Structure 1
Amino acid sequence: MKEIRFSENVARIDTSGIRKIFEAAGSNAINLGLGQPDFDTPEHIKAAAIEAINEGFTGYTVGTGITELREALSSKFREENGFSVSPEEIIVTSGASEALAIALATLLNPGDEVLISNPGFVSYNALTEILSGKAVSVPLAEDLTMKPEAVLERITPKTRAIVLNSPSNPTGAVASRADIKALAEIADDHNITIISDEVYEYFIYEGEHVSPASYSDNVITVNATSKSYAMTGWRLGYVAARKDYIGQMLKVHQYIQACANSIAQKAAYAAITGPKDSVNTMREEFRKRRDVLVKGLNELGMECALPKGAFYAFPRVSDSAEVASKMISNGIIVVPGTAFGSEGDGYIRISYAASMENIEKALSIMEKVL
């Protein structure tokens, strides 16, 4: 059999380091590596999906998404995020992952550069490379945020985008209003685009969530119902930007996806317009778990700053791979910081989107083996 010639862009990237960790762990391991809430989707959201099925709402929708959902999202951005987009400036996507992909596909020509935090979420680099772009690492400051001055130092004539993720996966850091404003000004001054990944916006414990689109229209805002409403498996995201961006992104969306899942769109409408009790409950529970986890880690001798958002702790360790491997062999799944970039060496990511019982059990095991 002759060897198949695959895409060089795809061949040069590796599969997710996070997935490799999960596959290596035993079936009874305590999973502190998973980036999804351990809560069920709220009942009123499930009921909306069931109603859609029973009413036969199971065909294609318009490519941009059902009108009522885009209208609700337009109101959400205005009321919660401080910027205005019309329903025509929103595309409903199959998760934030598709939104990120179509944003990058719209912006990049071969060799164009994207500034990405290091450490940062694994998809940013991979998608950039698949799309023939060049991922340029921006090391984080001591507080684990991406600073405007560090971004400025790395801008070249080939820079097309800055990916901003606040609250951050993997660090749990939250960017300050001053830094967000400065980054927006940099985008305007250099005519580059901020891709703002805001999927953890509702999970902030200290500080505030600030959308860069409230300061600049050179911004593509990416979000999803996945984390906020415990809907990771529903694969329902959305992207908002001014019309010239949307017109180009819609082309990519139409050819790779056609439209987001019709039933999930009805569920998302119920989520966006319905009560937020479940969001508040999750946030307060995550806050309690965070406090227990971080206190326990520091008592074990790990240096772990209190994360201000998301649901991840990012403690310092002597050797990322060694510590993660030792934990996995003792039945605790964590992710080595190196899975998120070279600057993640010396850290591990621990998710507190797990039960308090499992967090306390994991700390007890760590005390014995570390």
Structure 2
Amino acid sequence: MATGRTTATFLPPVMEARRWLQGVDFPPNRPLINVSQAAPVDPPPEDLCKVIAEAAINQPEAHLYGPVLGLPELRTEVAKQWNVAYGGTLMPDNIAITSGCNQAFCATIASLCSDHDEVILPTPWYFNHKMWLDMSGITTVPLKTGTDLLPDPIAADALITDKTRAIVLVTPNNPGGVEYPSELVQAFYDLAQRRGIKLVIDETYRDFDARSGAPHNLFQDTDWDTTLIQLYSFSKAFRLTGHRVGAITAATALLSEIEKFLDTVTICPNQLGQIAAVWGMQNLSHWLAGERDEILDRRAAIHDNFHKLEAKGWQLLGCGAYFAYVQHPFAKPSDEVARDLVREAGVLMLPGTMFHPDNEPRASREFRVAFANVDRVQIGELFDRLAQLNWPLAPRVDSA
């Protein structure tokens, strides 16, 4: 029987949820509505697929080991575009390319923390962050959010100890969907700077932020690299999920430490994926703008249809990027409701118990709705199905 570090954490939530589908039939007139996972299911645009195919055929070096920290042309392009977007003065040496954003997080934590160090995560949290901290022997310190799903810097300050190494923020947020205001991000940066810890900001969903302009001004600080580490994913922007391409923006000295981790784990990121990412950044800005418009329309569809559920006691706690985060009205806890939804409503979505510490009361009332792969019509159908449920109700309480 396994007794290693993996036993310190839970099973992958998305894989667990998929097992709930086993043995369940979905009739043609009521197909499954899957809002459990945010990863795009469509392939990249055709022109990008051709770039990948041509590189596979005509660039023999694309099949060999490449630089551990990524192709120079991609690191240069990220630095260039980030400087335009954030008003910074980043250099290519501030950028590392990773095998997806999850690896970016793992490598960052490995470079910052040792056994029994502490990392502060706002709740509800992104479960893979919690899983890696568990498997690394690092203590996760939950930072509770209120009904607005925004973390409080003052509350975070009270949680910092001599073992705290970092605060992690995800904005736009997974699972909550909320976009952290620039002033809030700045307040966390100031806190981390003052307390001598790192602020790790996962901006996987930055391309689908509803706001125009930079979501924060942190890269404009000449000393940003003493405090800030930014994570990013090309998977959502260009539908490159299977190619596993992410990025870290950080101090060059920290990237030298991160290089040790990356060389040991994957040696180098996927070269074909990196070639695709460079070409996408240079040629697909208009296409990506269209993708953003579609996601924003689906976000609007959540708001347009939510009145159907509001009348039944549901509450919309957060909505943005790929996610809505909701409170259900039923007497059963969300992990039980989730299984019932598969059988009785043909709906697969993840319960709040997957995004909170064990025994957190509010988790039993919450759900994440990942709407990136359902269009406006399907969102309407989703809410119609949920509104038709006549299950026993719980006493009405606030989510906070």
**Equivalent residue in structure 1 for 2:76, among 56, 71, 74:** 71
Give the secondary-structure state (helix, strand or coil) at the position aligned to 2:206: coil
| AA partner of residue 303 (structure 1) | Q
The separation in 1 between residues aligned to 2:211 and 2:231, in whole angstroms, is: 22
5 Å-filtered alignment, 1:1-370, equals: 4=1, 6-7=3-4, 9-25=5-21, 26=24, 28=26, 29-55=32-58, 56=60, 57-206=62-211, 209-210=215-216, 212-215=218-221, 216-217=224-225, 218-301=227-310, 302-305=314-317, 307=319, 309-318=320-329, 319-329=333-343, 330-341=345-356, 342=360, 343-353=362-372, 354-370=374-390
Residue 235 of structure 1 and its aligned partner are, at CA, apart by 0.7
CA distance in 1: counterparts of 2:279 and 2:73, whole angstroms: 10
- Range 350-359 or range 155-164, more displaced: 350-359
Whether contact under 8 Å (2:308, 2:384) holds in the other structure is: no
- Following superposition, the deviation at residue 165 of structure 1 comes to 0.3
* Range that drifts further, 236-245 or 282-291: 282-291
Q: 1:58 to 1:69 in 2, by over 3 A?
A: same
After superposition, the C-alpha distances for 1:199-254 in whole angstroms (9 at most, x for unaligned) are: 00011225762264444321111101011222212211111101111110001111
CA apart distance, 1:357? 3.2
Who is 2:29 aligned against? none
Stretches of structure 1 lacking an aligned partner (at least 5 in a row): none
How far is 1:5 from its partner?
5.2
What whole-Å deviation, never above 9, does each CA across 1:288-311 have from its counterpart, x for those lacking one? Answer: 22222233233222111462x311
Q: Which amino acid aligns with 1:6?
A: T
User: How many residues are treated as equivalent by the alignment?
Assistant: 365
What is the CA distance between 1:85 and its match in structure 2? 2.4
Secondary structure of the corresponding residue to residue 97 of structure 2: strand
TM-score computed with the length of structure 1 as normaliser: 0.93
Q: 1:213 to 1:141 in 2, by over 3 A?
A: farther
Q: What TM-score does the superposition give when structure 2 sets the normalisation length?
A: 0.86
The unaligned stretches of length 5 or more in structure 2 are 27-31, 391-400
SS in 1 for 2:151: coil
Cα distance, 1:166 vs structure 2: 0.4
For 2:141, give the aligned amino acid.
Answer: V
Change (3 A) 1:27 1:228: farther
Q: CA deviation at 1:15?
A: 0.7
Query: Deviation digits for residues 75-130 of structure 1, max 9, x if unmatched?
Result: 01111123332212211110001111000011111110000011110011111121
User: Secondary structure at the residue paired with 1:62?
Assistant: coil
Could you list the per-position Cα deviations for residues 272-331 of structure 1 after superposition, in whole angstroms to 9, with x for gaps in the alignment?
A: 111312222222112222222233233222111462x31111111134224323322221
3-state SS of 1:136 partner:
strand
Which stretch of structure 1 is more off in the superposition, 313-322 or 183-192?
A: 313-322
Does the CA-based 8 Å contact 2:234-2:246 persist in structure 1? yes
RMSD: 1.8
Could you tell me which residue of structure 1 aligns to residue 397 of structure 2? Answer: none
CA 1:183/1:306 → structure 2, altered by over 3 Å: closer, same or farther?
Answer: closer
Contact preservation (8 Å) 1:81, 1:214: yes
AA at the equivalent of 1:229: F
C-alpha distance after superposition, 1:124-159 (max 9, x if no partner): 111112111100000013311112112111111110
